[in-house]
Amino acid sequence: MTATEITYVRRMVEARYYPEALYFGTLILGREATPELHLHLGISCLASVRPVAEVQRMLDGNESIGVGGLRVGFATLLPHEGFAHLLAAQRLSKEVTIERGLLPAVKEVLEDLSTYLRTELHGFARAPYRVNRRDAAKASLLLLSRWAGLGNPTDFEADEIKRLDGLIQRELLESVLDAEFVGGQPPPAPS
């Protein structure tokens, strides 16, 4: 992997071109995994919750900021994939930090994750992962907030932070195959 390739993916994240960052980042990941690349892929996966967050904002009576052509369902598995990439970055480097150029995009993702966590996700708890969707999003929010130098999310109670820290530590000890589907098969597409 060349420095030019990883810089390209970082610039796609900075510009909020998340699908392009995911596509090219995944191609690079097949050759060489780095903490930076996993971080960029994790941010891009987590950014997928924006359409769901926008629906929640409208339900809350807030003005929509718009999502353009992005489409993702409430049952999206991308928050799990984003969490898996953040864990992979942490496994590869204990000193993960968010570069200054990425901070604006990361802050938007953190805001969207916070809004996403206010949505009702009752019907989608049976994803093929050890960690449920809500906990994957909360743990991702906690990790990204810390790595961005923002500390712990202020809307998390101390007990919740302790529980999430335990979940993160347990998952860091698990197999590095976290981002793969159970049994090697993806779940059926929504009808």
The model's pLDDT over 29-39, given as tens digits with 9 standing for 90+, comes to 888 889 999 99
Q: Kindly report, residue by residue over 91-122, the tens digit of the pLDDT.
A: 999 889 998 999 999 999 998 888 888 877 65
Band of pLDDT at residue 188, cut at 50, 70 and 90: very low
Task: State the chain's mean pLDDT as an integer.
Answer: 80
* pLDDT average, residue stretch 120-146: 77
How wide is the angle at C-alpha 81 spanned by C-alphas 52 and 61, nearest 5°? 15
Give the contacts of 92 (CB within 8 A, at least 6 positions apart): 33, 34, 35, 38
Burial profile 123-155: b = 16 or more Cβ within 10 angstroms, e = fewer = ebeebebebebebbbbbbbbbbbebbeeeebee
Q: How many CB atoms lie within 10 A of CB 113?
A: 24
The whole model's pTM is what? 0.74
User: How large is the C-alpha radius of gyration of the chain?
Assistant: 16
Residue-range domain boundaries for the chain: 3-64+72-178
Q: What pLDDT score was predicted for residue 49?
A: 82
